[in-house]
Amino acid sequence: MLDKLFEYMEYNLKVFSSIEKFRKEVHKGSLKWGFIHTEKFWQENHMFFDDSDNLNLIKELIKLVEKSDDRTKAIACYDLGEFARFFAHGRSILDNFGAKEKIIEVMGKPGSSAELKKEAITCYQKMLMTTWSDSSKP
């Protein structure tokens, strides 16, 4: 019984610390590629964005798409796409927050990095599609 309790606590501590890392990085306003910006992170943590504090992080990501360096914008686009992909009603939430318009602006802005353009286009595709499968995987 104690072993099960320890396993449960260890798992929840890991999840909590992942969300906390994500929150701190978004609040800082400078995103760096790492575990908290991966498909696995979103698969394991998307359900925690039901909480209003965590949902506000999505609003902050949208702001980062507007006012950051290209690398941070690219990572924010990636995260928004994964939110749309994994979170129930994520696409409609992003629509309500005006994310599509911001992503379209990024896609059309001349002089953006190739990384940013790729992530913005992929994000936009994820926001439009009802199902997503990565065609680069066998």
* Sequence-ordered strand ranges (E) for 2-138: none
- The tally of domains found in the chain comes to 1
pLDDT for 35-93, tens place per residue?
999 999 999 899 989 888 889 999 999 999 998 799 999 999 999 999 999 998 999 99
Inside any domain, residue 68: yes
Query: Is residue 135 over pLDDT 50?
Result: no
Eight-state DSSP code of residue 136: T
Residue 36 belongs to domain spanning: 2-128
Q: Is residue 66 part of a domain?
A: yes
CB burial of residue 119 (10 Å; 0-12, 13-18, 19+): buried
**Which of 48, 39, 62 has the alpha carbon at shortest distance from 19?**
48
Q: What is the DSSP letter of 36?
A: G
Looking at the domain assignment, is residue 137 inside a domain? no
Question: How many Å apart are CA 65 and CA 86, to the nearest integer?
Answer: 20
Q: What pLDDT does residue 68 have?
A: 79
pTM higher than 0.85: no
For residues 81 and 126, is the Cβ–Cβ distance under 8 A?
A: yes
> The CATH number of the domain where 35 resides is what?
1.25.10.10
Residue 134 inside a domain? The answer is: no
Express each pLDDT in 6-42 by its tens digit.
777 666 555 556 888 899 999 999 999 999 999 999 9
| Residue 135 resides in a domain | no
